[in-house]
Amino acid sequence: MQLFILYESASGYALFEKEDFDELGGQMKAIQKSISSLERFSKMVKLAAFQPFQTAEEALDNITAIAQNKVPKTLKNFLQTNLPATKSSKKQKFLLGIAEPKMGQEIFAESGFTAAYNESIEELLRGIRTHLPKILKKVSEEDSRRAQLGLAHQYSRQQCAADVNRQDKPIIQAIALIETMDKNINTFCMRLKEWFSWHFPELNRIVNDNLIFAKLVHFIEKRENINEDMKDGLTAIVLDEEKAQQIIEAAKISMGQEMSETDVLQVKSFSERVVDQIEFRERLQEYLKNRMNAVAPNLTALIGEMVGSKLISHSGSLTNLAKCPASTIQILGAEKALFRALKTRGKTPKYGLIFNSSFIGRAGQKNKGRISRYLANKCAIAARIDSFTEGTHQTNLFGEKLRQQMEERLLFLASGAKPKKNTDAMKEVIEELKREGLYYDGSAKAKTSGKDSKKDKKKKKVESDDEAESSEDEKQKKKKDKKKDKKRKRDESDDEEVEEVKPKKKKQKI
């Protein structure tokens, strides 16, 4: 059977021809041997047609459509012009080889040609890709390379600009930066405490908070500077007058060693840097909270911005998280433990990142698995609502109601109080949104711009057919009734005539 192979390149569309093609793959070894040599491969496959792209914009439009498994007009006209004409797909006497199996259905719908894809066609396409610059005499190897590079840059730029997950990227970067800063801040605070404890060891026992300790080190500078005059300043930092007095008393009887002026300057400078990092981390967390409330309000209302952003970051985007089932969300972040358990046939983990949620910590040891499964289910619902809610009027009412359901479930496991059903809870939220004017039933109809869907059209057609049949039945019934009336009137008139014609009997005389 004759085979035509469609090859899409950055320079244009190419159509190659091969005679006596075996669909069952009997020529696989011969094809693989011929790929290494241009001379042998050119005898096996010949160039049938080539249509170059006229502009870079045309190339970008065509490649974007093909990446989405769509058939652009240029490709449709190219195939209809260069392939043999056939009356129907059943009478098609050739095969059209393609590189992407999903394109076959679209090509058939647009042009009527039946496409094929198998291992032999894949090997032929590999050979075409290897020898394309030498087979295409109109396009040099340097021009082909430039076209590929320019198209790759344009396509990447377009994909970045049209990224549906661009709102998630700041969240992913912010939570990654917060996690890194937490490690650095802990390390820096530990170094600062060890360094200053050689001079004033009692301060570490009185103050445990890292930010307050760093501020005190920057304010005190040296143990000898502490006196009653500094009490107001210490109270403003510690926020506790009793602790401020303890610091003053401890400085008088401290057993720490002396510090030189050079050491004091270095410790003060280091404490200032630590304070700046801690304050920046707090501002970054506030920014993350605002972004999460804007992008995923229901997920934030359910489990908080920190755990919610970690789930989004681990899955890659909010859309990816919304596509995950509840069982995947439950163990998200515990993949190593899961595969280790599957390999060793041990117990699989009950929770991953959602373990940081307060709900699991509040549950009993026996109920942690149940609560994690229930929480993952609610997270899946909240993520799908946030991801697929259309319009700018997003609300966190669903998340608040889901959080209320979690509280009821904890109460149910603890005391046995029956919780509310999920359907009833969702109905309450929808009713509240309807009262506020944020829930629209006719959004799908407005999108179609007055056009009915296929189901509606079919329904209307059936209804119109039923009406037509009923009207025809009524007409036939009326005709029959008229005929019956005419027949009855005719019979009555005949009876009257018979009575008039009938003679009267004469009385016999006796």
**pLDDT tens, residue order, the chain (510 aa):** 778 888 888 888 888 888 766 655 567 778 888 888 888 888 888 888 888 888 888 888 888 888 888 888 888 888 888 888 776 666 777 888 888 888 888 888 888 888 888 888 888 888 888 888 888 877 788 888 888 888 888 888 887 776 555 678 889 999 999 999 999 999 999 999 999 888 888 888 898 888 899 999 889 888 888 888 888 888 888 888 888 888 888 888 888 888 888 998 999 999 999 999 999 999 999 999 999 998 899 999 999 999 999 999 999 889 899 999 999 999 998 888 889 998 998 888 888 899 988 888 888 888 888 999 999 999 999 999 988 886 556 788 899 999 999 999 988 988 888 888 888 888 888 888 888 776 666 544 444 444 445 555 555 555 555 555 566 666 677 777 777 676 666 665 555 444 444 444 444 544
Q: Which residue has the tokens 């040099």?
A: 140
pTM score:
0.62
Contact 372, 351 (CB under 8 A): yes
C-alpha distance across the termini of the chain, in Å: 119
Q: 73-82 and 56-67 are packed helices; what angle lies between their axes, rounded to 10 degrees?
A: 90
Helix (H, G, I), strand (E, B) or coil at 114: coil
> Quick one: CATH architecture of 297-440?
Orthogonal Bundle (1.10)
Closest to 13 (Cα-Cα) out of 142, 123, 103: 103
To which H or E segment does residue 10 belong?
A: none
pLDDT at 456: 56
Cα separation, 360 vs 370, whole angstroms: 9
Cα separation, 357 vs 57, whole angstroms: 50
353: which residues sit within 8 A by CB, 6+ positions away?
307, 310, 311, 314, 332, 333, 334
Cα separation, 315 vs 335, whole angstroms: 12
Helix (H, G, I), strand (E, B) or coil at 346: coil
Q: 169-197 and 210-220 are packed helices; what angle lies between their axes, rounded to 10 degrees?
A: 50
Phi-psi region at 492: left, alpha or beta (left = phi > 0; alpha = psi -120 to 50): alpha
Mean pLDDT of the chain: 82
Q: Domain boundaries in the chain? A: 2-161, 171-288, 297-440
CA Rg value for the chain: 41
Fold topology of 171-288: Helix Hairpins (1.10.287)
Domain 2-161 has CATH 1.10.10.60: no
pLDDT at 451: 46
| Beta-sheet pairing, 94-97 with 2-8 | parallel
To which H or E segment does residue 101 belong?
A: none
* The token pair that represents 59 in the structure block: 């190339």
Phi-psi region at 221: left, alpha or beta (left = phi > 0; alpha = psi -120 to 50): left
pLDDT single digits (tens) 272-329: 999 999 999 999 999 999 999 988 999 999 999 999 999 999 998 898 999 999 999 9
